Amino acid sequence: MEGLHNTSTETLQQLDAMHHLHPFTDTQALNKKGTRVIERAEGVHLWDTDGNQFLDGMAGLWCVNAGYGRREIMDAVYQQMQQLPYYNTFFQTSHPPVIELAARVAELTPEHLNRVFFCSSGSEANDTVVRMVRHYWSALGKPDKKIIISRENAYHGSTMAGASLGGMKPMHKQGGLPIADIQHIMQPHWFVNGFDETPEDFGERAALALEERILELGAGNVAAFIAEPVQGAGGVIVPPATYWPLIQKICTKHDILLVADEVICGFGRTGKWFGSDEFNITADLMAIAKGLSSGYLPIGGVVVSDRVVAGLEQGGEFNHGYTYSGHPACAAAAVANIELMQRERIVETTGERIAPYFQKRLQELSAHPLVGQVRGIGLLGAIQLVPDKPGNGTFGTDGSIGGFCRDRCMDNGLIMRAVDDAMILSPPLIITEAQIDDLFTRARAGIDLAHQHWLETR
Ligand SMILES: *Cc1c(COP(=O)(O)O)cnc(C)c1O
């Protein structure tokens, strides 16, 4: 096949339907409708094969933090490809890009996190976490400490371990998950689980659920607690201020490792380099991916604390690794991404100016008759659609109003995701104030249409 650049959208859709199975997709439903074929991108915008332009309110899948079309990253990858397109890091070997990336990541992460184990995705990072924390406790002569506690409605990826750690029921239903020795406690989602309490009281109650579970299982059987600083795929759930300090205390008190899944929060999304910086979390391990390379090439990793490294060193060989652990071209992309984020002070600008403006515009939507709550931090936002104000009555989980709103936004040139009936935003960090205005004008128009639809069909 001679490259499909001048092929009609219809032909592309037909080939896609015949040969391509999409992630998280009802194939039959999709193929009735046909995919939208995205062809190019620049800055915060995407274009499809029919020439329609979209403002990408999701930064791809929460990952294109530096925006599209960054020459510096492309050039770095091209140069690395010419010099050394691939070599492994298994055979007592290393290479300059992976060494540079590890050192740069260690410099950016909190002080006690200084070593990085590389992989190709967030899911692989969390698979590594499961094996690493269990191996750590084994190495210290405590092989019974192997249960990992996570949370309902968490997202930690789609591999067997990632989906098991995650708390998404529809994912567990397929393929016999979760795997053994993974437990889930309640999520700190005030709007859904704590509406009648103050957020502060609810945050404490949600954190104490961890202690209750540890006591139930016996601390001698629990290896780690894993959580996203802010839940992303679950619906941009920002925990109350009381939550993280108490979680931290409980982990310390019972000698449970604390794992921060920074796959979304990391690399500037909250307006700081890491969610751990934002919430003062001292994590023993940190999963990273997505913003690490701004999505230009697939790369992830687990950043490991000095304490955990010291334990692992007692355990001899760690029998784990990937062919593409620290892939040179992917590492070069990540180095170039970090360099440009530092040079352009993207994280600082996000935290000081862009995120506050984004949050202000987001807040304005809370007065809308269809909106029950808005929530967010940094350049993360959720707009919770509700049938009747006030109160936390939701439309249920069929997501039909959310899906309707998402489709109208798409018709109107805005990519906004729907998680059930919460509309989700996570734009590239390089978005400008004028582009944020454009984003919210389009978002409001989509919500207005969803409201009208709801009034007509209720
Ligand atoms: C996306 C995501 C993952 C999984 O990353 P993949 O690269 O899709 O495997 C893990 N954790 C969190 C918090 C994520 O948002």
User: Reduced to 3 states, what is the DSSP secondary structure of residue 214?
Assistant: helix
- The answer to whether residue 2 scores a pLDDT higher than 90 is no
Q: How far is the CA of 155 from the centre of ligand 1 (A)?
A: 7
pLDDT tens digits along 170-214 = 999 998 999 999 999 999 999 999 989 999 999 999 999 999 999
Instruction: Supply the mean pLDDT for the chain.
Output: 96
Q: Which of 65, 151, 290 to mutate to test the pocket of ligand 1 (most atoms within 8 A of CB)?
A: 290
Query: Residue 353: left if φ>0, alpha if ψ -120 to 50, beta else—which one?
Result: alpha
Sequence letter at residue 424: I
Ligand 1, atom 5, residue with closest C-alpha: 122
Q: Ligand 1 centroid to 151 CA: how many Å? A: 15
What is the pLDDT confidence band of residue 299, given thresholds at 50, 70 and 90?
very high
Residue 393: the pLDDT is 77
Residue 3 pLDDT: 75
**Beta-ladder partners of 118:** 301
The residue among 130, 148, 114 whose CA lies nearest residue 304 is 114
- CA-nearest residue for atom 10, ligand 1, is 156
How far apart are the C-alpha atoms of 425 and 236, rounded to whole Å?
Answer: 9
Domains and CATH numbers, the chain: 36-69+345-457 (3.90.1150.10), 71-343 (3.40.640.10)
Which letter, b or e, does each residue of 222-259 get, where b requires 16 or more Cβ atoms within 10 Å of its Cβ?
Answer: bbbbbbbbbbbbbbbbbbbebbbebbbebbeebebbbb
The ligand 1 atom at the shortest distance from the C-alpha of residue 298 is 7
pLDDT in tens, 371-393: 999 999 999 999 999 988 877 77
Interatomic CA distance for residues 368 and 278, integer angstroms: 29
- Going by their DSSP bridges, the two strands 53-56 and 414-415 should be labelled as parallel
Q: What is the DSSP string of 332-355?
A: HHHHHHHHHHHHTTHHHHIIIIIH
- Give the CA distances from residue 340 to residues 53, 170, 290, 320, 347, in Å, rounded to whole numbers and listed in that order: 26, 39, 16, 32, 11
Cα(123) to ligand 1 centroid in Å equals 6
Q: What pLDDT band is residue 61 in, cutting at 50, 70 and 90? A: very high
- Residue pLDDT, tens place only, 409-428: 999 999 999 999 999 999 99
* pLDDT (0 to 100) of residue 99: 98
Q: Yes or no: say if 398 and 27 are a contact pair by the CB < 8 Å rule.
A: no
Protein residues with CB under 6 Å of any ligand 1 atom? 121-123, 126, 155-157, 228, 232-233, 261, 263-264, 289
What is the predicted pLDDT for the residue at 1?
53
Q: Which of 291, 247, 234 is nearest to 65 (CA)?
A: 291
pLDDT in tens, 240-296: 999 999 999 999 999 999 999 999 999 999 999 999 999 999 999 999 999 999 999
Return the pLDDT at 45.
98
Ligand 1 atom nearest 126 alpha carbon: 10
Element of type H or E holding 313: helix 306-313
Q: What are phi and psi of 235, to 5 degrees?
A: 130, 35
Gap from CA of 44 to ligand 1 centroid (Å): 21
Distance CA 196, CA 217 (A): 29
In sequence order, which residues have a C-beta less than 8 Å from that of residue 365 and are 6 or more positions away?
Answer: 371, 374, 383, 440, 443, 444, 447
Give the number of the atom of ligand 1 that is nearest the alpha carbon of residue 232: 15
Average pLDDT over residues 66-70: 98
The 10s digit of each residue's pLDDT in 309-323 is 999 999 999 999 999
Average pLDDT of the segment spanning 203-229: 98
Structure confidence at residue 236 (pLDDT) = 98
Asked if 69 contacts 439 with a C-beta cutoff of 8 angstroms, the reply is no
Q: Which residues pair with 184 in a beta bridge?
A: 150
pLDDT bracket for residue 44 (50, 70, 90): very high
Candidate from 58, 156, 263 with most ligand 1 atoms within 8 A of CB, to mutate? 263
Name beta bridge partners: 185. 151
Tell me which residue has tokens 């999520």. 187
What residue type is assigned to position 199 of the chain?
P
**pLDDT surpassing 80 at residue 156:** yes
Residues 228, 155: contact at Cβ < 8 Å?
Answer: yes
Token pair for 366: 């809370």
**pLDDT score of 395:** 81
- Calpha distance 157→135 (Å, rounded): 21
Q: How far apart are the CA of 298 and the centre of ligand 1, in A?
A: 11
- Cβ atoms < 10 Å from Cβ of 286: 30
Distance (angstroms) between ligand 1 centre and the Cα of 368 equals: 32
pLDDT of 399 > 70? The answer is no
Torsion of CA 240, 243, 244, 248, to 10 degrees: 170
Distance 219 CA to ligand 1 centre (A): 28
Longest dimension (CA), the chain: 67
